[in-house]
Chain A
Amino acid sequence: MMKPFKRDEVEERDVQQAAELPVSTASFEELYNRYANDVLRMCYFYLGDRQRAEDVCQDVFVRLLTNTPTLQEGREKAWLLKVAVNRCRDLWRGAWLKRVVLGSPAFELVPAPDEIGELSDQQEMMQAINQLPAAFKEVILLHYYQGYGIGEIAEMMDLPEGTISSRLSRGRKKLESLLKGDEAQ
């Protein structure tokens, strides 16, 4: 049977409940220090726009502070990435981003100072991933970049595992053809 799709259930949840900032400062600091870079880079990888990636990352952590999310121990990063991906998707599926960002020069790398000059191969790969359709890009990033398994991604995205597998497979094929230059997305 079809598994229901629930859009970012946390975002809709009782924002009014926030009588005080529900996540303790210590917890927030710990989560921010551990995962904010991952969230930011994931958003940048998804959107290809630094300012918007920072906006989304900021919004994700604001939600962490204000929306009373129920975070399972060990699943905090999954929650952060789920909210981030949903936010990125909201932006991406809007025509505005496609018109403005896809029409702009290629995805730019932001290397650490000591890595500059060694990145031509990486750039090609990352540009190709950035050009993938959103549905493929999400699963490729969550699986290959963030290391989540198919079952975890399915749970995160509220989709059947078969759909995630299929997207991974199709995403890989699409990526391969992009890298071979078979098609221009």
Chain B
Amino acid sequence: MKRLEQLPEITNQALGGLTADAAMKQRIYETATTRHYHMTSPARWIPAVCAGLVLVAALGTGIPAMLRNTSVEEGKLITTISAGDGEAVMNENMISSLNNNSVKVGSQSTIPAFRSLWEKASSGSFPMIGMNGCYYRLMTSPADVPAEVLGERLDEVQSFTTEPALTNTNVTMSNCVPSGTSVYAVKNMGSTLIVARLNGVNRLFQRVSFNGSALLGKETLADTLQIGGHITMMELSGVGVVDDKTTCEKLFNTLIAYADYASSGSISSEQSLLIELDNGLTVQLMIKNDKLGACGVWSCPEFFEQYAAAVR
């Protein structure tokens, strides 16, 4: 491609009017001086450190008590459904149909077959919770999320609906978890995972795209998949298992750095990437060619190249 070889001349002609001028240099000096002041002024950071120490001390004594007080209560959700509510009947049916298998990543074979951790849809939409503009899909594993990984209580399901596509998430809604059920964060997982009580056990929900809605505002993959630093194993069906933590983190860093946002849709395929975390939970991304899907579809050939190299 001859013209490509002429790119420097072409660019210098075409962008010759774009110059870094003295005004920009002045702004750089001003910003650097301000940043330098903020970084080195002890008067700025000493109070912050002191406040942090106080906060750590307070949390150290307060968190266990808070956890005890806010732990999910057995049977609470069923009793909150109004008597005679048709949705409750549907909900109980769905609860009884749930598959509570647990998955151990990479435990079966060197080249694993396809396994999906998504709970299947029993009606039009997959079982989910919608909250603050985000959608979370019910997973089959683990059978019961241990109470010790639960984070803060985020909200409670305010609306039970069989038509989630028609319901916005201004109110926390679900098509499988009854109204009144508390929704909890998972410690250190940001907005990637949540937990809600279902059929007497804590069930895991992973953030996904739904109905053309994936990212919020300026979010990136790193925002919807906040698992960095916690990965213990990866399993890419048909390719292999990576069980070295350091390699897993490098692969994840590559994914986060190079994944290119393709769409707000989802991927339907028979290949998945299962990522086991140090809290015992496993997240899943669906795979098709060089694309990955969970909360939106992302293209990242670099990740697959490096994954294949790591397996070899």
List the interface of chain A (C-beta within 8 A of B).
1-2, 4-5, 7, 15-16, 18-21, 32, 36-37, 39-41, 44-45, 50, 53-54, 57-58, 61-62, 65-66, 89, 93-96, 98, 109-113, 115, 118-119, 121-123, 125-126, 129, 133-135, 140, 144-145, 147, 159-160, 163, 166, 172, 175-176
Q: Which residues of A contact B260 (CB under 8 A)?
A: 93, 133-135
Q: Which residues of A contact B305 (CB under 8 A)?
A: 163, 166
| CA A62 to CA B33, docked complex, whole Å | 9
B196: interface (CB < 8 Å): no
Q: Which residues of B contact A172 (CB under 8 A)?
A: 1, 4
**Given contacts A5-B250, A145-B8, A175 and B1 within 8 Å (CB-CB):** yes
Q: Which residues of A contact B215 (CB under 8 A)?
A: 95
**Given contacts A5-B257, A110-B18, A144 and B13 within 8 Å (CB-CB):** no
Q: Which 6 A-B pairs have the closest CB atoms?
A: A112-B16, A36-B20, A65-B32, A110-B18, A144-B7, A109-B14
| CA A70 to CA B253, docked complex, whole Å | 23
Q: Taking the nearest CB of chain A, how far is it from the CB of B14, in angstroms?
A: 4
B1 touches A41 (CB 8 A): no
Q: Mark B264-308, 1 if CB is under 8 A from A, else 0.
A: 000000000000000000000000000000001001011001100
Q: Taking the nearest CB of chain A, how far is it from the CB of B255, in angstroms?
A: 10
B14 touches A123 (CB 8 A): yes
B18 touches A44 (CB 8 A): yes
A-B contact list, 22 entries, CB within 8 Å = A2-B306, A4-B250, A5-B306, A18-B36, A18-B40, A32-B20, A40-B18, A41-B15, A41-B18, A58-B28, A66-B36, A66-B39, A93-B260, A95-B214, A95-B220, A115-B14, A121-B3, A122-B14, A134-B260, A144-B5, A144-B8, A163-B305
Q: What is the number of contacts between chain A and chain B, taking CB atoms within 8 Å?
A: 158
| CA A38 to CA B25, docked complex, whole Å | 14
B4 touches A175 (CB 8 A): yes
- SS class, residues of chain A in contact with chain B: helix
**Given contacts A41-B15, A111-B14, A135 and B258 within 8 Å (CB-CB):** yes
**Given contacts A94-B218, A135-B258, A62 and B28 within 8 Å (CB-CB):** yes
| CA A19 to CA B24, docked complex, whole Å | 24
| CA A65 to CA B305, docked complex, whole Å | 37
**Given contacts A62-B28, A66-B35, A50 and B253 within 8 Å (CB-CB):** no
Q: Which residues of A contact B15 (CB under 8 A)?
A: 41, 44-45, 109-111
Number of interface residues of B (CB under 8 A): 53
Q: Which residues of A contact B299 (CB under 8 A)?
A: 133
B5 touches A61 (CB 8 A): no
| CA A78 to CA B310, docked complex, whole Å | 28
- 19 additional contacts, CB 8 Å, given A21-B33, A176-B1? A1-B309, A5-B253, A21-B32, A40-B19, A53-B18, A57-B20, A58-B24, A61-B28, A62-B35, A65-B32, A65-B36, A66-B35, A94-B261, A95-B261, A115-B14, A125-B10, A135-B260, A160-B309, A163-B306
B10 touches A15 (CB 8 A): no
Q: CB < 8 Å: which of A36, A58, A119 contacts B31?
A: A58
**Given contacts A58-B24, A135-B260, A41 and B32 within 8 Å (CB-CB):** no
Q: Which residues of A contact B86 (CB under 8 A)?
A: none
B215 nearest CB neighbor, chain A only: A95
B36 touches A118 (CB 8 A): no
Q: CB < 8 Å: which of A89, A93, A111 contacts B17?
A: A111
